[in-house]
């Protein structure tokens, strides 16, 4: 069974540009989560999508947005990039009906560098 | 809100030493507790989990027991190997605010031969 996949592996942008990161969950998983892992910091929760809807959002500005497609894959968009957006962005998925107590399966991440 | 406090690192041990990484949590209700491991250059992998009080999660020689009375989920391994060098994250997922797992800051473990 294929795991969570993310693309691209690395992404280099300049300040003010937009970045688009993609995630494909494990087959059968309906929830997708996005986390930011900046250098030296822990995981910061960004967004949770389930069944195509945004269910929860972390403390990030509106220029961080995303969506989930009918096939449950997801996209994270970061507009007006700032230097401090440089980080590893991790996507995770979980099976339906887990609600609380859900085990999340992580992808390898996309390393975003903003110059 | 929910929070997870992990033992600060980095932790450096010699091969075959005993490992303990402390983790305590604050949560409403009865959360599920997890330990994830992140090897260099990779994403997180679930190491073990426990879903109710007194449950013991175990995997690859690691174990942790869900202690509700002390709100703790300490990770232990009797004899570490060089290949265990990684960053370890304690996390919880509560039944309220479902979908949002809360992670500790991570503890970097380095095992020297």
Q: Kindly write down the DSSP assignment for every residue of B32-47, as one continuous string.
A: EEEEEEE-TTS-EEEE
- Burial, B40: exposed, middle or buried (Cβ in 10 Å; 0-12, 13-18, 19+)? exposed
What percent of chain B shows pLDDT beyond 70? Answer: 96
Q: CA of B93, closest CA in chain A: separation in Å?
A: 5
- Burial, A109: exposed, middle or buried (Cβ in 10 Å; 0-12, 13-18, 19+)? buried
**Nearest residue in chain B measured CA to CA from A48:** B99
Q: Classify A27 as helix, strand or coil.
A: coil
**pLDDT for the residue numbered B30:** 82
* Euclidean distance between CA atoms A68 and A48, whole angstroms: 9
**pLDDT for the residue numbered B97:** 56
**Hey, what are B17's tokens?**
């030493």
A28-62 confidence digits (pLDDT tens): 999 999 999 988 778 888 999 988 999 888 889 99
* Euclidean distance between CA atoms A105 and A107, whole angstroms: 7
Hunting for tokens 């303990």 — which residue is that? B20
**pLDDT for the residue numbered A71:** 95
Nearest by CB to A106, which of B45, B94, B99?
B45
Q: Where are the beta strands (DSSP E) in B27-104?
A: 32-38, 44-50, 56-59, 62-65, 75-77, 86-93, 101-103
With beta carbons under 8 A apart, name residues in chain B contacting A107. Answer: 43
Q: CA of A24, closest CA in chain B: separation in Å?
A: 14
Q: Classify A83 as helix, strand or coil.
A: helix
Distances (CA, A) of B56 to A67, B6, B16, B78: 37, 18, 22, 15
* Euclidean distance between CA atoms A11 and B32, whole angstroms: 34
Check if the beta carbon of residue B12 is closer than 8 Å to that of residue B26. no
**pLDDT for the residue numbered A100:** 46
Q: CA of B1, closest CA in chain A: separation in Å?
A: 13
Are the beta carbons of A108 and B31 separated by less than 8 Å?
Answer: no
A40 touches chain B (CB under 8 A): no
């Amino acid at each position: 069974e294929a795991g969570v996949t993310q693309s691209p592996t690395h992404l280099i942008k300049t300040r003010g540009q937009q970045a688009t990161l993609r995630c494909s969950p494990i087959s059968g998983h309906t929830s997708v989560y996005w986390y930011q892992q900046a250098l030296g910091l822990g995981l910061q929760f960004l967004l949770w999508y389930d069944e195509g809807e945004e269910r929860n959002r972390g403390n990030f500005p509106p220029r961080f947005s995303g969506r989930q497609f009918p096939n449950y894959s997801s996209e994270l968009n970061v507009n007006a990039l700032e230097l401090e957006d440089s980080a590893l962005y991790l996507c995770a998925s979980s099976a339906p009906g887990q609600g609380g107590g859900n085990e999340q399966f992580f992808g390898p991440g996309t390393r975003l560098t903003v110059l | 809100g929910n929070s997870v406090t992990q033992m600060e690192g980095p932790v450096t041990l010699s091969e075959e030493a005993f490992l303990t990484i402390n983790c305590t949590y604050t949560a409403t209700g009865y959360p599920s507790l997890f330990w994830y491991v992140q090897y260099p250059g990779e994403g997180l992998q679930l190491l073990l989990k426990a879903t109710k009080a007194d449950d013991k999660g175990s995997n690859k020689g690691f174990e942790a027991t869900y202690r509700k009375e002390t709100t703790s989920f300490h990770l232990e391994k009797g004899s570490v190997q060089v290949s265990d060098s990684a960053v370890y994250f304690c996390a919880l997922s509560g039944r309220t605010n479902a979908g949002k797992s809360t992670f500790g800051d991570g503890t970097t473990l380095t095992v020297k031969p």
